[in-house]
A and B are shown apart, each in its own frame.
Chain A
Amino acid sequence: MAELVAPKSRVLDVGCGDGALLRLLAEERSVDGRGIELSQQGVNDCVAKGLSVIQGDADADLVDYPDDAFDYVILSQTLQATRQPRVVLEHMLRIGRRAIVSVPNFGHWRIRAQVAFLGRMPVTESLSHSWYDTPNIHFCTIADFVALARDVGATIDKSVALDLAGQPLHRIFSPWAWNLLGDQAIFLLHRKR
């Protein structure tokens, strides 16, 4: 994900956890970073690292940021846990010149197999919660996200699907195949003003 960010840019990491990505970006790419994080422990960890992080959540607090405040707005593995994914994505595209979004792929064949053949809601390494206590309330597949991006008028500049080991699916180019074999996908998007 860090590779998609140009050096010395201004970055907002939405759902930044303990600030590991922001720290990495600051160290390796001289990025001027900011974060939003829901958990107090996460915010404290970030503040202790010297990062500028606000306690808040993607659904309620993105509205407060002005247009074009950042070069990149990052949402990593969080879109499926938001209450209003479309609204969140639209704010990101307003706040940042570019958005970087990574989503877990609900269309992975292992997940389809669990639903289709076992008749059970899937529990996998990446989606490891049971259906009744998962924070993931808005599952989508890679293809779903591509469709949403089109619906909000965004252009996908770059995308890469990753396998279970986090490695890019280099030799596979068909979107249909990504939807079946990709554990997650990362998208770089922007929307014309």
Chain B
Amino acid sequence: MGDLGTLLNGAVTQSVSPDSLTLGLSSNSPLRMDSGAALAPLTVAYQTYGALNGAKSNAILLCHALTGDQHVANPHPVTGRPGWWETMVGPGKPFDTDRFCVICSNVLGGCMGSTGPASLNPETGEPYGLDFPIVTIADMVRTQALLIDHLGIDTLLCVAGGSMGGMQVLQWAATYPDRVFAALPIATAARHSSQNIAFHEVGRQAIMADPDWRHGRYLVEGTRPGKGLGVARMAAHITYLSESALHRKFGRNLQDRAARTFSFDADFQVESYLRHQGAIFVERFDPNSYLYMTRAMDYFDLAADYGGSLANAFKGSRTRFCVVSFTSDWLFPTSDSRATVRALNAGGASVSFVEIETDRGHDAFLLDVPELIDTTKGFIDAAARARGVD
């Protein structure tokens, strides 16, 4: 890993020239976005693991979360850290790359190669910045559908993801019911709650309050709102954990010192931990992209798109669903998943629901949780059997 300057350069480079497969879509057919904007040209950066079979029936699409990217099961090109779902993707793992073709793309508005606020605006030759249209979850899914079309895949064996990725799963199932054989939304909800919007707003205000943000033109002006982004990440990170886990890991323990220093240094281990989380995030993520990603989650409300009734979103769907939640996840609590299950039941859909006991909070979907691995493996294997995929 290099120094901060090298890492930042690496991050900026990824947004224009990613270490990834890319699909370029020309200006001939612009993407019509929910905001009313028409976006062209469009780049989708993606990774694939495992091979498509002859019938193209073994494709699994994974959707990444707020600060994730397409590097699910390979080292991150900027930080060198393992892919975000290495526990779940690989030979013999639930998303078995020996049998399935696992695909993951960077969402629209992201900063790891797909078109986003850090991408160059062809009209100005400069990064879009805040000129980039506001992105919705539906826009992200529409973009992914273009990629799936390009790969010649009619119906995906499974669409899976957690948190913001889970929102994309629900959107896929609602928008393209005939193209999703099985859906696995994890630790998510059909709409972002008021409290969650509030937390995101704090994060956005932190970025926008940073004098180096320059109304989103920091790339042009050569600054970087790292402090603001770091604070945003620290606040968000707390929501991804649970109080009992924080207490178990850190308690009130002091960081490398015997007594309080009566200063504003990071006296406590938990402070040091949060500062570290902020710092490592800043080195790989674009601040404007963070604004766009949080906005997309805030705007997500599937029931509102279907006359206020979530059941209508899934009415008549033949997709097999498995909804998963975690006991200590207070960001997307089990009650949210139960609401989704209720709606699916009301529409007569085939749905399984599992609440996994863990104290690791919302982040559990990214961690090595044996019950999650078992449930996923069981669900995917059964779907593959039902579809006649080996």
Contact = CB atoms under 8 A, between A and B. Distances in A.
A69 interface: yes
A69 B350 CA distance: 12
Main secondary structure of the interface of B (DSSP, over half): helix
Contacts of B246: none
A48 B357 CA distance: 18
A56 B353 CA distance: 9
Interface stretch (A39-47, A139-147, A151-159): A39-47
Interface residues of A, number: 19
B374 A48 contact: yes
Contact of A69 (B348, B351, B374, B382): B348
B95 interface: no
Contacts of A55: 353-355
B385 interface: yes
B386 interface: yes
A48 B382 contact: yes
Nearest to A33: B350
Contacts of B382: 47-51
Main secondary structure of the interface of A (DSSP, over half): mixed
A17 to B, nearest CB: 15
A66 B346 CA distance: 6
Given A47-B322, A47-B382, A48-B381, A65 B374 contact: no
B378 interface: yes
Nearest to B355: A55
Interface in A17-72: 34, 40, 43-44, 46-56, 64-66, 69
B341 interface: yes
Interface string B365-390: 00000010011011101110110000
B377 A46 contact: no
B345 A65 contact: yes
A48 B378 contact: yes
Contacts, number: 64
> Which among B352, B379, B381, B382 has the greatest number of chain A C-beta atoms within 10 A?
B352
Interface in B316-375: 320-322, 338, 341-342, 345-346, 348, 350-357, 371, 374-375
B355 A47 contact: no
Interface string A58-98: 00000011100100000000000000000000000000000
Contact of B375 (A44, A49, A51, A52): A44
A69 B342 CA distance: 13
A47 B354 contact: yes
A50 B385 CA distance: 8
Contacts of B385: 50
A50 B384 CA distance: 10
B383 A50 contact: yes
B350 A43 contact: no
Contacts of B379: 47-48
B353 A54 contact: yes
Given A54-B351, A55-B353, A66-B346, A47 B341 contact: no
Contact of A50 (B348, B355, B386): B386
B352 A40 contact: no
Nearest to B348: A69
Contacts of A64: 338, 341-342, 345
Contacts of B350: 34, 52
Contacts of B378: 44, 47-50
A52 B356 contact: no
Contacts of A51: 352, 382
A47 B375 contact: yes
A101 B367 CA distance: 42
A49 B375 CA distance: 10
Interface string B138-168: 0000000000000000000000000000000
B310 to A, nearest CB: 13
Contacts of A43: 352-354
A145 to B, nearest CB: 28
Given A44-B371, A47-B378, 8 more contacts: A34-B351, A48-B381, A48-B382, A49-B378, A51-B352, A51-B382, A55-B355, A66-B346
Interface of A: 34, 40, 43-44, 46-56, 64-66, 69
19 contacts: A34-B350, A40-B355, A40-B357, A40-B371, A43-B352, A43-B353, A44-B354, A44-B371, A44-B374, A48-B374, A48-B379, A50-B378, A50-B386, A52-B321, A52-B351, A53-B353, A64-B338, A64-B341, A64-B345
